[in-house]
Structure 1
Amino acid sequence: MKPILFQRFLPVGCLTVLLALGTLGCAPEASSTADGGQQPGTQDPSPYDLRGLTIDPGPNEPSIYPEPTREERIHLERAVASATLPENPRMIAEWEPVQGALIRYPLGISVDAVKTIASELPVYVLCSSSSQSSASSAFRNGGVNMANITFITAATDTYWTRDYAAWWVECGPAGNRTVAPVDVIYRANGVRPNDDRVPAVLASHFNLPTYYPLSYVCQGGNVMTDALKAGASTDRILDETPSQTLGQMQQKAKATCGLDPYHVMEDPAYPEDYIKHIDCWAKFIPGNKVLVKRVPSSSSFYQRFEAAASAWSSRTNAAGQRYTVIRIDGNDSSPYVNHVILNDRVLVPLVGNTTLDSKAISQIQAAYGSSYRVVGVKAASGLPWLGTDSIHCRVNAIPVLKSQGGGDEPPAPAGNLALNKPATASGTYSTSYPASAAVDGSTSTRWVSPYLSYSNRTQWLAVDLGSAQAVKRVKLVWSSTNYPRAWSLQYQSGATWYTAYSTTSGSGGIQEFTFPVATARDWRILATSNASSYYTLYELELFKD
């Protein structure tokens, strides 16, 4: 599990933005019975007590932290902390496009899980130079697609890449948005120094010249965003940086990550969920939804989880829409909300209880919808999934970075006639999502339509090619959730728009179509039927062949 060095207990009344959940009991962690219920009065073996005090080093954590080798330190020092704040930052949500997963070796997941991820997606592995040979052997012996494995030479202390790796923001002026890493303080007092250096390591590896420091203590498992700038953490951030007020931390989160509002709340399962990370019990997912864990009514934490769910149902996003709260069932120690999203796949931890596993898989699939594939993943031998530490804690991701000119992403396809041409739209959600973002060659920026009501479902995005051009192929990169079911590609001749291609069964994601060649200067996408509350188009590309 992920140890906490200390906890500072605060009365609920002293926090201005905390969710009031009532008095917290101090029941010991219960183990599951064969039928998925709980056996009272028992506690899983743990190297940590419920106050979060470290008793012994954690799994695969050395008692003495190794110093980086000369090779690792040179790699580390290529990127430097930015002396300025990012311009108009927006923290990237977990369901946005990623170019690869991020794990650490020695592993916190099974080789079979690595095989599953690498079957479709590059996997970046933080690994010391001396361990890369043994890691390669383990992967090859497990049938992992080695073409999708990239080692990042780095010293690490633990396998919780979610907690210590970089947060990612898109920032910059409209039409020239880039993706940049944020380096938040991982642990206080110099604990796990190698883990804490990983954001700088990633910036160096992907040839990003700078990263943005965020000067309070927080882990990646204790922050989430809805992609529209709202964010959330538990009050652990107050425990770990007592020298700063809640308001000071909210202001820093807004300035560096664009989080506004930034909700800070109690953990409904504390002290059983002594880690106090929000990803153990709640999760933003696409479609303006929030997943919240649900425990049996017999649990001592039942009322607190119900209060947490009720509080989320009363909150709204930046467009003023209330979040839809979806409950995921389990017992006190179930880890199902702690799943990871990698493009259109959702990897859900399985605990071996057929009844609970099947129900959670079904609920999560229904929550995400048919455009996502929900895949159950078993834990590694000796490293079980826990309610406080599961696959989301041990697997992170790298967003698409090609707009930065760094990393290993290929350039935009040659011959894209719409690239960087003037673009207009019927409307936008905000100035952060302009029409120009759909033709800038980057899938880290996007056009987002205004909110779609029943009477306002028709929206368009047009591009001026500068002169009449012959076009016979279109490539579209829609959001996998916010896409039109019915749309057409049209070109203008005189005052009339003609249809080159149309569909009434749009499915989102990457789509590419050919059609009889048409020659025109002005082209547009006309969307008329929606699958969610917005249309989100990352890229519109037009080709003559």
Structure 2
Amino acid sequence: MKKLILLAVLLPVICVFAQNKAADPDLVKRTEEWFKNNPNSMPHWMTPDELERINEIGKGFIETQPPVGPVRQTAEFERMQSVLIRNPFGIPVDFIKQLSLVTDVVTIVATTNIRRTVINTYLSAGIDTSKCDFLLAPSDSYWTRDYGPWYVVDGNNTVGICDFIYNRPRPNDDDIPVQMAPFLNEPLYGMRVSHTGGNYMTDGMGISASTQIVYEESLSQLGVSAEEVDQKMNDYLGIHTYHVVQDPNDTYIDHIDCWGKFLDVDKILIREVPSSHPQYDEIEATAAYFASQISSYGNNYQLFRVNTPNNEPYTNSLILNDHVFVPIMGTAYDAAALAVYEAAMPGYTITGVLNNTATPWESTDALHCRTRGTIDKEMLNIYHVAQVLNKDSSGDYGINAKIVSYGSHTITSAQLIYKVNEGDWITLPMTLSKDNYTAVIPHQASGSQISYYIHAEDNSGRVENHPFIGQADPHRFTLTGGLEAPLNLTVTSSLNSALLDWDPVAGASVYRIYRSADPYSGFVFLNTSGTDSYTDTTVSAANKYFYYVTAGDTK
């Protein structure tokens, strides 16, 4: 049977090779070798046959209206109810068992007979099959990260799926988000952008990043311009700041997860190589770029580096609730890579994962590429712009959060837990006013460091913290003399922009602008300005916006 499948896959490819005289001989050889070892999955790259069928990408795709705003795309480091994988597998079965100990596992299978076979495999491996579910659908490959669904939350706090056009002519893979929508009983939205999940990371608060292929392929495959891509990202995903950069690795795949990863809203991991590495300058320039950018919390990104001297895929990891699974290679560099994650993500369980199967980890394809978290559709969400910048010590310190159950469950507890310097943790109840929970930390002496996190519970039994890991890695800010808040903020709106003006503040060299669709909560860092005005060009005439501005003496 295996040989028959191999012939069924290879024969059409061989015919195309014979017809396509211009096919790259190295690509032909690499593709033939792939199918000899992996007859049940397309490779990560486009085959010579697929390169001849690029015009099929997006064929039959139906773009829908965007979700009702304001829309928010969820991040990898939020609560997941399951993880999506595909059979035939691209990951070791013992790793699937590890996943099942953290959350449920959904496996894509082509037939009911295959489902029975997979269940038997799971039982033999000691996997609790009560934590396993199956999506019965055809697929072309095991890269569920690349073609799997993206999750969004609309203005009614309903979780849905945003489908994009997969940047490969693989109709079965491209259809998986469409199949997942009824499987999860979630609404489906279609965004006409050529994309792939391995080339995307987002912070859950309106900032995302990709390499340049999202622009290049959307234009060449669909005729969608870079400006149109940006607008669609805003309309369908709520992305107001999209960092699109050149791929510093300069590989065939051009995926961002081969060199970088958001670990949290204001934390980013980027690979590091020796100065003798051919891509050293490009990688360092990319690291410097992100280190200079402002996160949704208003601070510069905390930059973490992981040494990859032999192009190890250490950034190609999976964050799954309070666990992080890191691909390791069985070399002397593994321990240092795991130590970087432990330093960057205190409180998380960091686990190295070897892959000695016929589909080993590669520099351009590893653990993250072959898994995809499924957001908890009834998540207890704590939306909070963390206070991480220095604050004026002259008054009290209000902490605000919007706490919502996406499952419409009742919030039973909301607490602010804080400490001053190395003192004891103090718990304050948060009071609710117009969907906004607030607690006030009393005045403390200048020079004090405040550490805090928010804790919430609902009557479904869900318990969440912000930041996700809670007390092990709390938010922190330091009290200083500070600057006064800008006065007399005015907003002058036009069709597609809003002009903000305010009184200058003595000693201020930078102003930070925050925006929300709600006057009481949900404010997200938008941008900085070096003057006493700013023009917001990411607005829509159909929506209302609220702003506030802070002053600072450094960027």
Task: Mark yes or no: TM-score above 0.5.
Answer: yes
The within-5 A match list for 1:517-532 is: 531-532=474-475
Partner of 2:330: 352
**CA 1:52/1:123 → structure 2, altered by over 3 Å: closer, same or farther?**
farther
User: Are positions 1:138 and 2:114 aligned together?
Assistant: no
Partner of 2:368: 392
Partner of 2:514: none
**CA 1:148/1:376 → structure 2, altered by over 3 Å: closer, same or farther?**
same
The partner residue of 2:188 within 211, 218, 229 is: 211
The partner residue of 2:300 within 315, 322, 326 is: 322
TM-superposed deviation, 1:60: 4.6
**CA 1:529/1:56 → structure 2, altered by over 3 Å: closer, same or farther?**
closer
Deviates most, 387-396 or 138-147: 138-147
The within-5 A match list for 1:327-346 is: 327-346=305-324
The within-5 A match list for 1:88-107 is: 88-107=70-89
Distance 1:505 1:322 in 2: 18
Q: Segments of 4+ in structure 1 off by > 4 A?
A: 47-58, 60-64, 447-452, 454-458, 460-463, 473-479, 504-513, 527-530
**CA 1:283/1:158 → structure 2, altered by over 3 Å: closer, same or farther?**
same
Distance 1:157 1:485 in 2: 52
TM-superposed deviation, 1:485: 5.4
Q: Which amino acid aligns with 2:322?
A: D
The partner residue of 2:380 within 420, 440, 443 is: 443
Distance 1:221 1:491 in 2: 41
1:365-413 CA-partner distances (Å, limit 9, x unpaired):
101122x1111111141111111001000011100112xxxxxxxxxxx
Deviates most, 192-201 or 320-329: 320-329
Distance 2:75 2:391 in 1: 27
TM-superposed deviation, 1:152: 1.3
Partner of 2:228: 248
| Matched-pair contact (CA < 8 Å) for 1:280–1:388 | yes
The within-5 A match list for 1:156-195 is: 156-172=139-155, 176-188=156-168, 191-195=169-173
1:409-464 CA-partner distances (Å, limit 9, x unpaired):
xxxxxxxxxxxxxxxxxxxxxxxxxxxxxxxxx5146355666644465526799x
Distance 2:431 2:102 in 1: 36
**CA 1:134/1:318 → structure 2, altered by over 3 Å: closer, same or farther?**
same
| Matched-pair contact (CA < 8 Å) for 1:334–1:387 | yes
SS in 2 for 1:143: coil
Q: What is the percentage of aligned positions where both structures have the same residue? A: 30
| Matched-pair contact (CA < 8 Å) for 2:291–2:302 | yes
Distance 1:491 1:249 in 2: 40
SS in 2 for 1:108: coil
Distance 2:147 2:237 in 1: 16
TM-superposed deviation, 1:238: 3.0
The within-5 A match list for 1:467-486 is: 475=413, 486=426
SS in 2 for 1:194: helix
TM-superposed deviation, 1:287: 4.8
User: Are positions 1:267 and 2:247 aligned together?
Assistant: yes
TM-superposed deviation, 1:487: 2.4
| TM, length-normalised to structure 2 | 0.63
TM-superposed deviation, 1:98: 0.7
**CA 1:278/1:529 → structure 2, altered by over 3 Å: closer, same or farther?**
closer
**CA 1:343/1:134 → structure 2, altered by over 3 Å: closer, same or farther?**
same
**CA 1:382/1:54 → structure 2, altered by over 3 Å: closer, same or farther?**
closer
The within-5 A match list for 1:10-29 is: none
**CA 1:445/1:184 → structure 2, altered by over 3 Å: closer, same or farther?**
farther
Q: CA RMSD in A?
A: 3.9
Q: Which amino acid aligns with 2:212?
A: D
**CA 1:444/1:166 → structure 2, altered by over 3 Å: closer, same or farther?**
farther
User: Are positions 1:84 and 2:65 aligned together?
Assistant: yes
Distance 1:396 1:48 in 2: 33
| Matched-pair contact (CA < 8 Å) for 1:486–1:530 | no
Distance 1:51 1:304 in 2: 29
TM-superposed deviation, 1:52: 12
Q: Which amino acid aligns with 1:489?
A: P
- Gapped regions of structure 1 (runs ≥ 5): 1-46, 65-79, 403-441, 464-472, 498-503, 514-526, 539-545
**CA 1:457/1:298 → structure 2, altered by over 3 Å: closer, same or farther?**
farther
User: Are positions 1:122 and 2:104 aligned together?
Assistant: yes
SS in 1 for 2:333: helix
Partner of 2:539: none
**CA 1:528/1:444 → structure 2, altered by over 3 Å: closer, same or farther?**
closer
The partner residue of 2:427 within 481, 487, 491 is: 487
Distance 1:194 1:147 in 2: 27
**CA 1:185/1:477 → structure 2, altered by over 3 Å: closer, same or farther?**
farther
| Matched-pair contact (CA < 8 Å) for 2:453–2:475 | no
Partner of 2:131: 148
Distance 1:529 1:240 in 2: 42
TM-superposed deviation, 1:89: 1.5
Greater relative CO (CA pairs within 8 A, separation 6+): 1
**CA 1:303/1:462 → structure 2, altered by over 3 Å: closer, same or farther?**
closer
Q: Which amino acid aligns with 2:248?
A: P
The partner residue of 1:199 within 177, 181, 190 is: 177
The partner residue of 2:353 within 364, 374, 377 is: 377
User: Are positions 1:288 and 2:299 aligned together?
Assistant: no
| Matched-pair contact (CA < 8 Å) for 2:64–2:191 | no
- Gapped regions of structure 2 (runs ≥ 5): 1-23, 44-60, 404-410, 418-423, 433-438, 440-449, 460-469, 478-520, 523-555
Distance 1:310 1:239 in 2: 24
TM-superposed deviation, 1:333: 2.0
**CA 1:193/1:444 → structure 2, altered by over 3 Å: closer, same or farther?**
farther
| Matched-pair contact (CA < 8 Å) for 1:487–1:529 | no
Q: Which amino acid aligns with 2:152?
A: V
Partner of 2:342: 365
Matched residues, number: 393
TM-superposed deviation, 1:488: 2.4
SS in 2 for 1:335: coil
Distance 1:84 1:255 in 2: 9
| Matched-pair contact (CA < 8 Å) for 2:382–2:401 | no
TM-superposed deviation, 1:317: 2.3
User: Are positions 1:306 and 2:288 aligned together?
Assistant: no
Q: Which amino acid aligns with 2:64?
A: A
**CA 1:490/1:62 → structure 2, altered by over 3 Å: closer, same or farther?**
closer
Deviates most, 93-102 or 121-130: 121-130
The within-5 A match list for 1:495-506 is: none
